[in-house]
Amino acid sequence: MPGAGGRLALWYSGFALYAAGVALFSGPGLDHYWGAWAAGGYAVAALITVVFSGRAWGPRLAIAASLAGALAAPVLWLMTKEPTPPDVAVVARSGVLLLHHGTPYLPVTALSAGGWLAYNPYLPVMALFGLPGALGLPGQTWPWLIAATFLLLYATFLVTLGPRPGGRRRAALGYAAFWLACPVMAFPLTMGITDPPVIALTCLALALLARSGRALSARAGRADMVLAALALGAACAMKYTAWPALAIVAVMVAMRNGARPAVRFTALVLAAAAALVAALAPAALRHPASILQNTVAYPLGLTSAKSPAQSPLPGHLIATLGSGGHLAALVLLAVAGLATVASLAIRPPATPAAAARRIAIGLTALFLLSPATRFGYFIYPISLYAWAVLADREGTGGARRATVDLVLPDLVAAGECPRPVAELMR
């Protein structure tokens, strides 16, 4: 079995092969430029892990090389090129509209004349990433998407990881940097795609819910539940892809904590999302038709302008067979949703890690059967499943850890173990 350095070299080598494939086989557009930059960065990172396998700073240097090649260099290069990637253009325009008109959406009358780029399929809070550019700051949306994703990933790993010899914060920083550098995050962030912060918020909410189940006091557990609800509410106010997570997480909370806590959690998520939308885009609420046209009708292919998200997946292929095919794709999408609901009733998830896996399965079905879909959406199930694997490893690390988690709260409540000592033991 290879050691840690060997495993890292294998990971980076795999990333390099994937990036080279993108560079060689991607169609017209900017994707192949990312592949060329990233393949070099990952190859250098793999070489560093082999040459400096015995040095403590070797892994850090490898992460730096992969971040430089797969994220920093291609982003800086694309920021100087035209045309701007579509996602960047849409979010940048939504920031300008939000700043000047209080809504990130064009009126319905202006949509049909503007083509598909006139539509904004994101929910109002996503426009926050376009505000810095609207205020005249450089970089359009790229720096803010990258910074938000990294900070949210860092917070997620800080909550998820257990004690480490070098310190939990240093370990969380390393995990966040590695995840930011891998193709699952680096590729979409380079293209200005808005999914990474939504994924990071969802994983943060799950991590907080996992920690709430291990809390030494009811007060600490409730605080983590509130923070999880706020994080998930922010994700739900950014993009509809977070809404399936809310339904599945609510069932998980009901299984673990009871029906009333689940109702309170769901209400807090919805209230947080509604409050964010009302505070950031008050004018949008006065034009619900525009919101529905942009965020519902357009992604479902019910507008004259069609989304460029047209990867050859089953839902899109069926939808191209005419009006009957499009209806069949929508019916299959609804059936997949009902199947997910049925699975929650038959075998509800009992832990955040199980909920993450169920969300991954549900989103996979959604992306496969949606009329407007693309391969890049699968970063959601990949990320959620990866977090679930890490959470299982950290949260059930053996009989001793499980025993400590069960016994410590009783010892603290009885006054037989001071809380600071208990925190150290965890």
The predicted pLDDT at position 399 comes to: 34
Please choose, from the candidates 51, 60, 135, 141, the residue with its C-alpha nearest in 3D space to the C-alpha of residue 98. Answer: 135
Rounded Cα distance between 221 and 361, Å, is 28
The predicted pLDDT at position 229 comes to: 97
The angle subtended at Cα 96 by Cα 92 and Cα 102, nearest 5°, is 130
Write out the chain's pLDDT in tens, 426 residues. 345 667 889 999 999 999 999 999 876 678 888 999 999 999 999 999 998 877 878 889 999 999 999 999 999 998 887 778 888 999 999 999 999 999 999 888 888 776 777 889 999 999 999 999 999 998 889 999 999 999 999 999 999 998 887 788 999 999 999 999 999 999 999 999 999 999 999 999 999 999 998 887 888 889 999 999 999 999 999 999 999 999 999 999 999 999 999 999 999 999 999 999 999 888 888 888 888 888 888 887 778 777 776 677 787 788 888 778 878 888 888 888 898 889 999 999 999 999 999 999 999 988 888 887 778 889 999 999 999 999 999 874 333 344 444 444 554 555 545 554 444 444
Rounded Cα distance between 388 and 351, Å, is 10
pTM above 0.85, yes or no: yes
The predicted pLDDT at position 1 comes to: 32
Q: Is the dihedral of CA 68, 69, 71, 75 positive or negative?
A: positive
CA dihedral 250, 255, 260, 261 (to 10 degrees): -60
CA atoms within 13 A on the CB side of 190: 32
The predicted pLDDT at position 301 comes to: 76
- H/E stretch holding 345: helix 323-346
The predicted pLDDT at position 376 comes to: 81
